[in-house]
Amino acid sequence: MTIFHKIIRREIPADIVYEDEHLIAFRDIGPQAPVHVLFVPKQDYATLNDVPEDAPEIIGRLALAAARYAKAQGFDKDGYRIVMNCNEHGGQTVYQIHLHLLAGAPLGRFGTPA
Ligand code: 5GP
């Protein structure tokens, strides 16, 4: 079980901004932009590699929930970034898939090797 499962179960606190039967969204504890929210499905998949080909809705729901949140908060026109890190080279540290929403200021370039 990951820290995100504990947040879903309300075993540890988080600043939850959205929840439905499929997913939960809460503020990242170490924000890397003025707005940094994590969108996490309630189904268990460690990485994007583990999502079955016949279940694209899992990823679609995360992306559309992030877009909806950005629109509701007024970030849609100025723009925002969504990111999914996968495994070591992608910088993944929590092994329950999640999508980052970063917004609230112009974001720097990304993808430079560490
Ligand atoms: P990853 O590096 O796996 O793509 O992203 C994991 C994210 O989870 C990081 O940005 C990290 O700051 C965040 N995080 C780790 N532990 C916690 C926690 O206990 N609560 C919250 N809200 N975010 C966390």
Reply yes or no on whether 22 is catalytic.
no
Tell me which residues have their CB closer than 6 angstroms to ligand 1.
3, 14, 26-30, 38, 85, 91-94
**Whole-angstrom Cα distance, residue 9 to residue 27?**
16
Mutation probe of ligand 1 site: the residue of 16, 38, 89, 92 with most atoms within 8 A of C-beta: 38
CA 26 remoteness from chain centre: 8
Find the 43 Cα to ligand 1 centroid distance in Å: 18
Q: Reduce the DSSP state of residue 43 to 3 states and report it.
A: coil
Sheet containing 80-83: which strands, arranged edge to edge?
Answer: 16-19, 23-27, 35-41, 99-103, 80-83
103 in Cβ contact with 81 (< 8 Å): yes
Residue nearest to atom 17 of ligand 1 (CA): 29
**CA of 91, closest atom in ligand 1:** 2
Instruction: Kindly report, residue by residue over 17-68, the tens digit of the pLDDT.
Output: 999 999 999 999 999 999 999 999 999 999 999 999 999 999 999 999 999 9
Q: How many helices (H) and strands (E) does the chain have?
A: 3, 5
Q: Supply the pTM of this predicted model.
A: 0.97
DSSP single-letter state for residue 9 = T
Check whether 113 has a pLDDT greater than 80: no
